[in-house]
Amino acid sequence: GFLPLQGHVVRNWKVRWFVLLQDKLLYYKIEGGKKEPSPKGRILLDGCTITCPCLEYENRPLLIKLKTKTNTDYFLECCSREERDSWALDITGAIHAGHPVQVQELHKMKNSFKLIENISLHNIVERMYDSNTGIKLTRNLDQGNRYKETFTGSALVDWLISNSFAVSRFEAVTLASMLMDENFIRPVGVRSTEATRSSDPSEKFLDDSTALYMFAESSKKNTSSKEEVHFNISELSGTIVKQGFLVKQGHKRKNWKVRKFVLRADPAFLHYYDPTKEDNKPVGGFSLRGCLVSALEDNGVPAGVKGNVQGNLFKIITKNDIHYYIQASSKAERVQWIEAIKPLT
């Protein structure tokens, strides 16, 4: 699949097509909408160590760090927590492929839990407040309301693991629930507040990038109505239905670029981002109301499409008759995107 990779000489980000083998991770360059036949580079997994979650870059919270036995660092970025954890699990399995017992333990880790002895919740909260190494507080939007100094459920889980307070997401969720029960943190917004009503203790805290929390002693939320929110913020406030990397044809130069697509509902919009940029702002997007979406046949290049493309194409026509040509990485992924978009048109 597609993942942004940080360069070694020039520390910029490039999107590459990654293929995981048993002993190495290959990455390829995409030219003209098609994967080049020879790999651009390879990461040897023998003796490699993996760090996930990796929180070394504040603007890129979904990183995986690989350090080879020659001490070369590779930073790979995913588009969602679920994708990141899936890649990390598969890469870790490949690293330990010759050690089946370790692979078995890796899969068991998801549901195992052993609280660190003599753990202090006060110590965790003090570390969370640290201006340099603590949890990053951001402004967030939920149901048209804006909240200051909040963090997401998945961000807290990542932070607890990276600071060695937990070794698995299950443990981190348990710790976060304890922090909430002891009134160190509190939920804000609809999703996280509704979860606290669950009868199952393990479901009261959400390991989710859309569930918001804040320190219990923080000031009350600073809200504004949906009508007062700027239009661009309004269209970005919908619930994320699906996200992932796709290849899109440009409107002017007709060249192909990998973009991170985010599909939202209520309101229904499809935005796309340049994953090589540091800011997390869309470079384009459009309302899905009145759009037509359809798959394009792979036998030959359809009219309107330039270049020797890989295939798995689909087209979106907006109600203003603007045509978007997009490539998925597989036929199955193309079907998933079309089925996710259609109900929102």
List the chain domain ranges: 2-110, 121-215, 233-342
Fold of domain 121-215? Arc Repressor Mutant, subunit A (1.10.10)
Of the pLDDT bands very low, low, confident and very high (cuts 50, 70, 90), residue 242 is very high
> pLDDT tens digits for 11-51?
789 999 999 998 999 999 988 778 888 999 999 999 999 99
Helix (H) or strand (E) holding 287: strand 282-287
In the block, tokens 């309302």 appear at 287
Helix (H) or strand (E) holding 90: helix 81-95
In the block, tokens 């409107």 appear at 251
Fold of domain 233-342? PH-domain like (2.30.29)
CB contact at 8 A, 328 and 314: yes
Residues in CB range of 26: below 8 A, 6 or more apart: 18, 19, 39, 41, 42
Cα separation, 96 vs 107, whole angstroms: 12
Same fold, 121-215 and 233-342: no
Residue 235 pairs in a beta bridge with none
pTM of the prediction? 0.68
Residue 314 pairs in a beta bridge with 295, 326
- Residue bearing the bigger pLDDT, 197 or 326: 326
CATH number, domain 2-110: 2.30.29.30
> pLDDT tens digits for 60-76?
888 999 999 999 999 99
Q: Please, what is the Cα angle at 16 between 261 and 80, to 5 degrees?
A: 40
